[in-house]
Structure 1
Amino acid sequence: MTIIPHLALTHKHFLLLILVALQALPPSVVAAAIALSPCRTSCGAIAIKYPFGVDDGCGAPQFRRMLNCNATDLFFVSPSGNYKVQSIDYDKQKVVVYDPAMSTCSILQPHHDFVLTDIQSAIIPPSSDTVFALLNCSIDSPVLNHYKNLCFNFSDHSCDELYTACNAFRVFHFLTNSSPPCCFTGYDTVKFMSMNILDCTHYTTVLNTDGLRGIGPLDWVYGIKLSYTIPDTGCGRCTQSGGVCGFDTETEGMLCLCSPSSNSTRQCGENLRINTSHTLKL
């Protein structure tokens, strides 16, 4: 009598057998059979689309690890901290973030620097209609002396408005019985000079400044609007084939992610391969 050995298939072996079977099928059949997206498409109420990704290997490699998603909220990650993402406008290529540690018209908080990496400064800097208001500056501040050309009034607003209209900033007026110097400036100023160098004790940021003429500080929108550019990697061809644009986590070369276990270099259904090292966790 022939005795057939007992085959104990583990979960890992079972998945490997499936992968071997899938490799024998035409790519179009595999793409249709495995339609699950390998990348999360939202974080809370905010949609996650290219060039962003919250899972490593998703989106464009230039934006790798810039966004972090916890249970309910999305954050923009920079060297100076995590900034809660309020919204992403994919048509206008704008991201609005808010710093919970920043001073506003209603709350005064210890200052800290807003810092981006060199890559972030190049591909997702604050937009031109985001103004940094440097408050309670020393008379020796560089922006009031050698670099005073960096300060400007936006939409006919002045520093005095902040000191008189905002409860949080009135303390500076009370301490000196006057309005201490301040400066409305752009991101490039704080990019190259820290708050200590600027010799200003606090800052706040206001967005959509082009539309604030005649509107007082109590009704300004406080936050930072980031303006990003999308790298031209041929992502459209991938999405039209039903895939999700991503990249190899080791080489950062572009991949068209067709399922949790397969990807292609350009589009789904072409050059499709089973990937057991990066996208499938056994």
Structure 2
Amino acid sequence: MQMQLLSSPFTIFKLLILTLLLQVIPTLTLSPCKTTCGSIPINYPFGLEDGCGAPQFRHMLNCSTDLFFQTPSGSYKVQSIDYDKKTMVIYDPSMSTCSILQPHHDFQMTDVQSAIIPPSQDTVFVLLNCSIDSPVLNHYKYLCFNFAGHTCDELYGSCNAFRVFHLLTNSSPPCCFTSYSTVKFMSMNILDCTHYTSMFNTDNLKGVGPLDWVYGIKLSFSVPDTGCESCRKSGGTCGFDTDTEGLLCLCSSFANSTRECAAGSIISKGQNNAPWTHYLLVLLFVAYFFSLG
């Protein structure tokens, strides 16, 4: 009876299928890190899950309905990430623009964020409706600079949102074109200015009116040189140990290595045992095929 069963062509076919399953299933890939949030790609050095990306950028991004950049002062919607130019454009929903006046608000970053992903050189902050006693108009007036020939009068005259400042005083209150370092070290209360706005790509704004400025904040990030090129070439994703923050090569959701994934397999050198879920799949396939006979 047993010899007849094993000699059955259909049984031999099932055994061949089972053999293939045993070889293939343990190497199925379960991606360890999300690669997109909406339409925005998430690549190194960023990561959405803890342990993905570079440890310096840990917990900076959050993906809910959209991608957000997290700072001590709030969540800022990420509009785009350019990995070639190493820039990220974010938008502050509480920031005033030429078309909308928002309540008083500060933009703050952690010391780590200020060091590795600060606002770019072509991002300008504008302090609006400042008092005559404002530090940037007195002791720290050197912090204000000429911005492509634009003036406070132009802002208050061209923008519907800022025109109210001119109407309330029948004059143009002082304003200040400045860099991120000013708002980094001094709050809006200390600066004695009621509102702020910011725009980027300022190198191209000479002769361009405020209505056509691109409002938002461009951040310029640096990519840590952790030697993870070999990890990427082996099919892995650069990540880190959540306890030690040491470099890891994430080969799948269940395996990792210190440098690269094992050649010819998605399972790493550091952990080459398939998880129990894969063995369960094998048993289910075995039960299914033999139930057909």
TM-score range, shorter chain: 0.7 to 0.9
C-alpha displacement of 1:153: 1.7
Q: 1:234 to 1:210 in 2, by over 3 A?
A: same
Give the partner amino acid of 1:90: Y
Matched-pair contact (CA < 8 Å) for 1:130–1:224:
yes
C-alpha displacement of 1:36: 2.8
**Deviation per residue, 1:38-92 (Å, 9 max, x gap):** 100000010000000011110000000000000x300000000000000000000
What secondary structure sits across from 2:251 in the alignment? strand
Matches of 2:100 and 2:221, distance apart in 1: 29
Structure 2 unpaired stretches of 5+:
1-21, 263-267, 275-293
Is 1:180 aligned to 2:173, yes or no? yes
Give the partner amino acid of 1:273: Q
Structure 1 ranges of 4+ moved more than 3 A: none
From 55, 59, 62, the equivalent of 1:61 is: 55
Of Structure 1 and Structure 2, the greater helix share is in: 2
Matched-pair contact (CA < 8 Å) for 1:261–1:274:
no
Q: TM-score, normalised by structure 2?
A: 0.82
C-alpha displacement of 1:111: 1.5
Q: TM-score, normalised by structure 1?
A: 0.85
Matches of 2:84 and 2:148, distance apart in 1: 26
What secondary structure sits across from 1:160 in the alignment? helix
Larger radius of gyration: 2
* Matched residue, 2:14: none
Q: 1:274 to 1:76 in 2, by over 3 A?
A: farther
Matches of 1:211 and 1:266, distance apart in 2: 43
**Deviation per residue, 1:104-161 (Å, 9 max, x gap):** 0000011211000010000000001000000000000000001101101211111211
Matched-pair contact (CA < 8 Å) for 1:263–1:274:
no
Matches of 1:212 and 1:275, distance apart in 2: 58
* Matched residue, 1:136: 129
Matches of 2:175 and 2:272, distance apart in 1: 59
Q: 1:275 to 1:158 in 2, by over 3 A?
A: farther
* Matched residue, 1:150: 143
Matches of 1:50 and 1:35, distance apart in 2: 19
Give the partner amino acid of 1:192: F
Paired-residue identity, %: 74
C-alpha displacement of 1:236: 1.3
Structure 1 unpaired stretches of 5+:
1-21, 277-282
Matches of 2:152 and 2:113, distance apart in 1: 29
Aligned residues: 249
Matches of 1:193 and 1:215, distance apart in 2: 29
Matches of 2:253 and 2:60, distance apart in 1: 22
**Deviation per residue, 1:154-204 (Å, 9 max, x gap):** 111112111000000000000010000000000000111110000000000
Is 1:217 aligned to 2:210, yes or no? yes
Q: 1:98 to 1:275 in 2, by over 3 A?
A: farther
From 71, 93, 101, the equivalent of 1:100 is: 93
* Matched residue, 2:82: 89
Matches of 1:262 and 1:215, distance apart in 2: 53
Cα RMSD (Å): 1.9
Matched-pair contact (CA < 8 Å) for 1:233–1:254:
yes
